[in-house]
Amino acid sequence: MLKFKNVDAYYGYIHALKDVSIEVPKGKIVTLLGANGAGKTSILKVISGLLEIKEGSYEFDGKDLKNYKPEDIVSMGIVQSPEGRQIFPDLTVHENLMVGAYTRKDKLNINKSLIKGYEYFPILREREKQIAGTLSGGEQQMLAIARALMAKPKLLLLDEPSLGLAPLIVKDIFNIIQEINKSGTTILLVEQNAHQALSIADYAYILETGKVVHSGHAIELRNDEKVKKAYLGSS
Amino acid sequence: MNIFFQNVIAGLETGSLYALAALGLVLIFRTTDVINFAQGEMAMFCSFIGFKLFTSLGLPYPVAFIVTIIFAVLFGFIIEKYVIRSVNKASVVSKMIVTLGLIMVISGLATALFGIDSHYLRKAITLDNLNIGGVVIQPNAIFIILVTIVIMSVLFYMIRKTLFGIAIRATAQNETTAKLMGIPVNRITSSSWIIATVLGAIAGLLIAPTTNVSTTMMGEIHLKSFIAAVVGGFGSFLGPVVGGFLIGILDNLVGYYITLKWKTVIVYGLLIVVLIFKPTGLFGKIHRKKV
């Protein structure tokens, strides 16, 4: 569904992505793992049209994505829930969700998506009229995911949904990510919490300083001694 | 007491125009972080267009008014697209300096095209004054206040309730994420420039009978609209409107009851006092925008 072929990208002089090739098959959960600054978020920025690539190519459903604007990418069905949630703090929960539906052409079905989003995260319905900046961290993360779902994505990009959240809430959110995937949405998940990510992913790429250094099925990586040592702690 | 009411109505009249101009400033600031210092000159240029349509082309006043607004739409669109967006990569401060430069370009252009003379333009409503229980009211003042209230209501409805308005506020709060959600940020920016230019043009046409149409006509309104925006709070859409009315009324009351000489100084003093006690303005919240 999504394919990167030998992609190179820079922030000014900083070489952020070096010869990156990854693939996200339809219907799967693929995760990108690695430390801070490994290039995970850069990959998402490239996909969403916020960072230009220098070399290589990347495509979605066979269509070359280079030179598309962020809003066109969303219209094609690729939506991101960005790192640090980035909800709109002065808008209400409901307004935040409506922003997510901005590109929808089928205005009549927006309400269906809203109901669906509230089914995944019932707490958001209770907080519908509340100013989003007053939500707790976990609720803001739920809002960020629900907002992305409002665009009815084919491919959902999740950047560090576990960041700064209590373990119990992380577990809830990962369960729902799995549910969203089962209902037909392909997911590309960026995580520092490798343990959690490998437990729900089908396939994983491990990045280091802008390069893919390891990849494989999630089950294999979970049992791989080297990976265990470097990314999963000593467990 | 009658004099008092007359002063309040006159204050609401000029205050309306400050409010319109201030709302234009705030709209552009909220969506782009840029303060358009050329707002006054752009309004002046539009007023000249209206004046020429009315006198040289002999169009009926309402038609000239509407055509001027259409011109303002194009004018705002062109300035944003070809001047402001072309320096997109520059810092916010540099962009503001660009708008300072626009002051010179536009006023130079106006002088070249329309000359330096000042011209009388008629009032929108030319009916006889009303006398309500001893309070003398100009129908034109009522018209200006009503027009402002209608425009404000439409704008506020749009900003509060429509998806487009939600998108404007989302862009104001976090531009990058607005892009990620598929909001065409360029189009939002363009729209806010267009709306602001139209607001300025309306203020210019309505103040013209008082100041005459000339290259310096917007000087006072422009400055007062800045004060209105700061007093009310640059971070809110309602604040500048309240600030505009407040300054208009105070201007008139101070001018009549205390001293005409010192009225501007006293109104500026108010700005300082408000900022001492409420640094973000009366309605302002701390403006935090992530880019």
- Report whether pLDDT(A200) > 60: yes
SS3 A156: strand
Q: Are B106 and B200 in contact (CB under 8 A)?
A: no
- Report whether pLDDT(A234) > 70: no
Average pLDDT over residues B40-63: 96
Residue B286: pLDDT band with limits 50, 70, 90: low
Angstrom distance (rounded) from CA A76 to CA A69: 11
Q: Are A33 and A214 in contact (CB under 8 A)?
A: no
Q: Are A157 and A81 in contact (CB under 8 A)?
A: yes
Best to test chain A binding among B31, B161, B175, B180 (most A CBs inside 10 Å):
B180
- Report whether pLDDT(B265) > 50: yes
- Report whether pLDDT(B290) > 90: no
Residue A235: pLDDT band with limits 50, 70, 90: very low
What is the C-alpha end-to-end distance of chain B, expressed in Å?
52
pLDDT for A169-185, tens place per residue?
A: 999 999 999 999 999 99
Average pLDDT over residues B156-168: 93
Eight-class DSSP state of A92: B
Q: How far is B87 from chain A (nearest CA, A)?
A: 18
Contacts of B182 in chain A (CB under 8 A): 70-71, 73-75, 79, 102-103, 151
pLDDT value for A181: 97
pLDDT for B225-263, tens place per residue?
A: 999 999 998 888 889 999 999 999 999 999 899 888 888
Hey, how many other C-beta atoms are within 10 angstroms of the C-beta on A89? 17
What is the pLDDT of chain A when averaged over all its residues? 93
SS3 A151: coil
Tokens of B124: 């929108």
Query: Domain residues of chain B, as ranges?
Result: 17-217
pLDDT value for A233: 62
pLDDT value for A202: 97
pLDDT value for B31: 87
Angstrom distance (rounded) from CA B227 to CA B247: 8
Angstrom distance (rounded) from CA B221 to CA B146: 19
pLDDT value for A224: 85
SS3 A159: strand
Angstrom distance (rounded) from CA A181 to CA A226: 29
Q: Are A131 and A139 in contact (CB under 8 A)?
A: no
- Report whether pLDDT(B271) > 90: no
Tokens of B69: 């607004």
Q: Is B167 on the interface with A (CB under 8 A)?
A: yes
**Sheet strand arrangement including A78-81:** A78-81, A155-159, A186-191, A29-34, A203-208, A211-217
User: What single string gives the DSSP state of each residue in B101-148?
Assistant: HHHHHHHHHHHHHH-S--B----S--PPPEEETTEEE-HHHHHHHHHH
Q: How far is B52 from chain A (nearest CA, A)?
A: 42
Q: Are A166 and A139 in contact (CB under 8 A)?
A: no
pLDDT for B173-186, tens place per residue?
A: 899 999 999 999 99
Contacts of A98 in chain B (CB under 8 A): 163, 166
Q: Which residues pair with B132 in a beta bridge?
A: B135
**Sheet strand arrangement including A53-60:** A14-24, A2-11, A53-60, A63-64
Q: Are A96 and A128 in contact (CB under 8 A)?
A: no
Angstrom distance (rounded) from CA B19 to CA B32: 20
Tokens of B104: 């010179």
